[in-house]
Amino acid sequence: MICRRSFLTLLLFVSIGISFAQPVHQQVEIVVTPDHLNWEYKIGEPATFTIQVFNFNVPMKDAKIVYQIGPERMKPIRLDSAVLKDGKFVTGAVSLKEPGFLRCVVTTSFEGKQYRNLATAGYEPGRIQPTVSMPSDFDAFWKGAADELAKLPIDAKMTLMPERSSAITDVYHVNFQGYAASRIYGILCVPKKPGRYPAVLQVPGAGIRPYGPDLEIADKEIIVLTIGIHGIPVNLDPAVYNNLSSGALAGYFYYNMNDRDRYYYKRVYTNCIRAVDMIFSLPEFDGQTLAVMGGSQGGALSIITASLDKRVKYMAAQYPALCDLTGYTKGRAGGWPHMLSEANKQWNSDEKIINTLAYYDVVNFAKGVKAESHFSWGFNDETCPPTSFYAAYNSMTAPKKADIFLDTGHWLYPEQRAAINKWVITKLKNL
């Protein structure tokens, strides 16, 4: 039985954090274009990049640029400068000898300000294979965590938020019991009209922030549960989250990496199962039609949830983080948060950390996904390198599709976000 308590509270609404903001136009803009229309190349095929610099949309002649070309996040193959005599410059040809991504980064200065842009060529990305190993007891480890969770009651508490509700949807601030007696907090949207409805679980991108209702989806008569992962209410003053971000929870994704049972994400991953339990406990849920969605860290959690909990029928993920983390140990880009990168090389040789991360790498969860899946990303992502998330995508055998918006980085176009929501709504409503 779900207890519904009411108290007066103020919720500051922010997005669920599935993407970063789309870059804004600037006075000076650099345009970098690979010489293949689809930005894709065969192994060993030469790629060139055309570079143009515009000031108020007018090509800048004699603009001086510095450019570097090389595998993403790795030492550049070519580092050089040039002057755009006629407003345009074409780089020399560079190629890759194995599947991956070749990135051209360009900078220029104008009136004391530096500008930057990039483009990324994909070399047979469908052939990228993961570097991370699969522990022999991977499934047993996560089954053990799920079994521990199953012994605990949900103990859900719901507080109606009339100021956030719509004419169609009731909005609640909720909390319920999770793994190791932790609490999970979130925002729950439930249709006002009596009936039984499909549902979507929204899992968050990285960071510490408040959350608000996603009425764009909920007002389609869909139950929406948006959760936080840090065990704190999601309707507090923003100053609380700012203080936690720079204090107690700074770098939370590194906490206890040398111990697979104490690593920060064990509670997080397991609590995604409990969030599904919460949805299934709702009398308004139809008992079967469930999707999970999110971007970046939320993209990772979407894949993980769909893998750990086969009650999930549909999954939508954007540029997932935490993929193929060991890529750096093999001389190529690994996934966010880059704990094995050159900048964090003090951990590169720590076998305990490398062994722990194998239990949390999205690649190993991707292999177990059965849900029908929709992905969306671009080649220019510098936060979650495409090499890393293609390693996970290529490991999946479930029905899947990827919408590629080539020039996007760690952000979404409005059209891209609309396409994701349309796919989720269409699947849930059987349209």
Do 258 and 350 lie in one domain? The reply is yes
Examine residue 20 and state whether it is found in any structural domain, yes or no: no
Give the 3-state secondary structure of residue 182.
coil
User: How far, in Å, are 59, 175, 272 from residue 146 at the CA level?
Assistant: 59, 19, 10
Q: Calculate mean pLDDT across residues 343-356.
A: 87
pLDDT band of residue 195 (cuts 50, 70, 90) is very high
Q: Calculate mean pLDDT across residues 94-117.
A: 97
Report d(CA 177, CA 200) in Å as an integer.
19
pLDDT band of residue 24 (cuts 50, 70, 90) is confident
Do 387 and 238 lie in one domain? The reply is yes
Do 220 and 307 lie in one domain? The reply is yes
Examine residue 109 and state whether it is found in any structural domain, yes or no: yes
Examine residue 275 and state whether it is found in any structural domain, yes or no: yes
Examine residue 192 and state whether it is found in any structural domain, yes or no: yes
Q: Which of 214, 230, 277, 296 is catalytic?
A: 296
User: How far, in Å, are 11, 116, 248 from residue 371 at the CA level?
Assistant: 33, 39, 36
Do 197 and 69 lie in one domain? The reply is no
The one-letter amino acid code at 26 reads: Q
Among 306, 290, 294, smallest CA distance to 376 is for 294
Residue 20, pLDDT score: 57
Do 296 and 331 lie in one domain? The reply is yes
Q: Calculate mean pLDDT across residues 318-323.
A: 98
Q: Are 325 and 335 in contact (CB under 8 A)?
A: yes
pLDDT digit string, tens, across residues 333-343: 999 999 999 99
Burial category of 20 from C-beta neighbours within 10 Å (exposed 0-12, middle 13-18, buried 19 and up): middle
Do 99 and 51 lie in one domain? The reply is yes
- Among residues 71, 106, 127, which one ends one of the domains? 127
Examine residue 156 and state whether it is found in any structural domain, yes or no: yes
Token pair in block for residue 253: 């994704």
> If you average pLDDT over every residue of the chain, what do you get?
94
Report d(CA 336, CA 204) in Å as an integer.
15
Residue 321 φ/ψ, nearest 5 degrees: -85, 180
Give the 3-state secondary structure of residue 244.
helix
Residues present in the chain in total:
431
User: How far, in Å, are 365, 386, 401 from residue 74 at the CA level?
Assistant: 26, 13, 28
- Among residues 82, 107, 127, which one ends one of the domains? 127
Q: Which of 277, 309, 324, 381 is catalytic?
A: 381
Q: Which DSSP symbol is given to 178?
A: -
Residue 13 φ/ψ, nearest 5 degrees: -80, 130
Q: Calculate mean pLDDT across residues 302-306.
A: 98
Instruction: Look at strands 113-123 and 100-110 and give their pairing.
Output: antiparallel
Q: Are 294 and 287 in contact (CB under 8 A)?
A: no
pLDDT band of residue 302 (cuts 50, 70, 90) is very high
% of the chain exceeding 90 in pLDDT? 91
- Among residues 95, 127, 159, which one ends one of the domains? 127
**Residue 149 neighbours by CB distance under 10 Å:** 18
pLDDT band of residue 86 (cuts 50, 70, 90) is confident
Range of lowest pLDDT (19-28, 67-76, 118-127, 243-252): 19-28
Q: Which of 230, 338, 374, 410 is catalytic?
A: 410
Residue 25, pLDDT score: 86
CATH of the domain at 329: 3.40.50.1820
User: How far, in Å, are 23, 190, 390 from residue 320 at the CA level?
Assistant: 20, 28, 9
Give the 3-state secondary structure of residue 89.
strand
Residue 347, pLDDT score: 77
What are 81's strand-pairing partners? 66
Do 121 and 163 lie in one domain? The reply is no
Report d(CA 145, CA 149) in Å as an integer.
6
pLDDT digit string, tens, across residues 161-185: 999 999 999 999 999 999 999 999 9
pLDDT of residue 8 exceeding 50: no
Q: Are 188 and 276 in contact (CB under 8 A)?
A: no
Report d(CA 398, CA 348) in Å as an integer.
32
pLDDT of residue 19 exceeding 70: no
Residue 80, pLDDT score: 97
List the domain range (segments joined by +) for residue 97: 28-127
Examine residue 235 and state whether it is found in any structural domain, yes or no: yes
Do 122 and 145 lie in one domain? The reply is no
Do 35 and 85 lie in one domain? The reply is yes
pLDDT band of residue 23 (cuts 50, 70, 90) is confident
CATH of the domain at 40: 2.60.40.2550
Report d(CA 117, CA 106) in Å as an integer.
5
Number of domains in the chain: 2
Q: Are 384 and 336 in contact (CB under 8 A)?
A: yes
| b/e sequence 110-132, b meaning 16+ C-beta within 10 Å | eeeeebebbbbbbbbbeebebbb
DSSP line for 32-52: EEESSTTSEE-TT--B-EEEE
296 is catalytic: yes
Do 278 and 327 lie in one domain? The reply is yes
Q: Which DSSP symbol is given to 99?
A: S
Q: Calculate mean pLDDT across residues 329-357.
A: 91
Residue 422, pLDDT score: 98
Q: Are 66 and 106 in contact (CB under 8 A)?
A: yes
Do 104 and 151 lie in one domain? The reply is no
Do 275 and 404 lie in one domain? The reply is yes
Examine residue 249 and state whether it is found in any structural domain, yes or no: yes
Examine residue 313 and state whether it is found in any structural domain, yes or no: yes
